[in-house]
Amino acid sequence: MRSDRALSLIALVTRACPFACVSCAMDRPGAGTISRADLRRGADLLLREEGPLELQYFGGEPLLEYGLVRETAAWARRLADARGRRLTQSVTTSLLPLTPARARELADLGLEVMASLDGDLAVQSRQRPLASGGPYPWEVLLRHLDGLLESGAACTVNLTVRPESAQSLARGVEFLLSRGVRRFQFAYALGALWGGEGAEALERALRRADELCASGGADVLNRRGGPEPVLLDGQIVLDADGELSVGCWTVLETALPGLRAAFARGPIRDARRLPVAGRGPRAQLERLLAAVSPGERRLVADNLDLGRRLDRFWGTEARHG
């Protein structure tokens, strides 16, 4: 697990989203949106901390609130400059609301973009169907990807791999390389049971994907190390309702419904600083095990085993191999 990471605040700008991804475990009834005051408060508290800092606009689909993201990003940039802070800002998006014009605006603001795209049309439409049904907006997604790549924004494509899509990963990477993508991140679906065979198949698929990226001159963010096991990441989350929490729960909310309450740290409006203390993997493991039922422990153990395995994979084989 990497220790030199920036201190990040993950802001759930909105829980609303036009997609209904197979791996999505976010509870989205009512699909709330964060208030401008709570989002600014989060940015303000982050910018009182020292060292490298990162504000992540997350969702749902945060760019459904494009104006709020753009305005907050500009405001946070000015505040960071005034306080002499090193701030990175990033937005994670499905690409659907990210028109080429918006991509250029975000590039001008210095926002980094993490685009969620799982491969070619076959995998993407199976894993990320539209919530509303209807014709799949594949041509729109590709046009927006092209616009993003041309915008000058620092952008990464994140591919989420499920047990049933591991064998298609190489095809997806080849397709995205052919579109001009030069920075990748590979995520595995939390909340899915991988088992030993699934983990081995994933490792084989990642090894092939990593080779393809290397020969295509593409960067793989996983090689820089990351918070594995992700399940023990002490990430600081600001929910759309203004509640702060520490821990990995947003992608597991419906799969492990006790997590959010177990990780809660109170409303941002009452916070004097971000909950930066007590976020290490040991503390997170204790909170995690206290929050899950005996029936849920098999899933937790499976996802922890996979995370440890991939920590070794990216930390040793890929990075130094």
Size of site (CB under 6 A) for ligand SF4:
12
> How many Cα atoms are found within 13 Å in the side-chain-facing hemisphere of 168?
19
Shortest reach from residue 26's CB to ligand SF4, in Å: 5
Shortest reach from residue 225's CB to ligand SF4, in Å: 24
Which 61-90 residues touch ligand SF4, going by CB under 6 A?
61
Shortest reach from residue 134's CB to ligand SF4, in Å: 15
Other Cβ atoms closer than 10 A to 226: 19
Q: In what order do the strands lie in the sheet with 219-220?
A: 219-220, 183-188, 155-161, 112-116, 86-93, 52-59, 7-14, 236-238, 243-246, 264-267
**116 part of the interface to ligand SF4, by CB under 6 A:** yes
Q: Compare residues 134 and 294 and give the one whose CB is closer to ligand SF4.
A: 134
Which 242-261 residues touch ligand SF4, going by CB under 6 A?
none
Shortest reach from residue 74's CB to ligand SF4, in Å: 24
**114 part of the interface to ligand SF4, by CB under 6 A:** no
**239 part of the interface to ligand SF4, by CB under 6 A:** no
Shortest reach from residue 23's CB to ligand SF4, in Å: 6
**19 part of the interface to ligand SF4, by CB under 6 A:** yes
CB 24, CB 69: distance < 8 Å:
no
Q: Tell which one of 2, 20, 37, 254 touches ligand SF4 (CB under 6 A).
A: 20
Q: Compare residues 92 and 222 and give the one whose CB is closer to ligand SF4.
A: 92
Shortest reach from residue 110's CB to ligand SF4, in Å: 23
**21 part of the interface to ligand SF4, by CB under 6 A:** yes
Q: Compare residues 176 and 252 and give the one whose CB is closer to ligand SF4.
A: 252
Residue 130 bridge partners (DSSP): 19
Shortest reach from residue 189's CB to ligand SF4, in Å: 10
Q: How far, in Å, CA of 232 to CA of 220, rounded?
A: 22
Ranges of H-type helices in the chain: 36-46, 66-83, 100-108, 121-127, 138-151, 169-179, 195-215, 259-263, 281-291, 297-312, 319-320
Q: Sketch the per residue contact string, 87 through 106, with ligand SF4: x for CB under 6 A, - otherwise.
A: -------x------------
Q: How far, in Å, CA of 293 to CA of 258, rounded?
A: 9
Residue 266 bridge partners (DSSP): 244
CB 91, CB 113: distance < 8 Å:
yes
Q: Helix 66-83 vs helix 36-46: angle between axes, to the nearest 10 degrees?
A: 30
Q: Give the residue among 155, 164, 161 at the shortest CA–CA distance from 173.
A: 161
**124 part of the interface to ligand SF4, by CB under 6 A:** no
Q: How far, in Å, CA of 235 to CA of 237, rounded?
A: 6
**119 part of the interface to ligand SF4, by CB under 6 A:** no
Shortest reach from residue 86's CB to ligand SF4, in Å: 28
Interface residue list for ligand SF4 (CB under 6 A): 17, 19-21, 24, 26, 59-61, 94, 116, 128
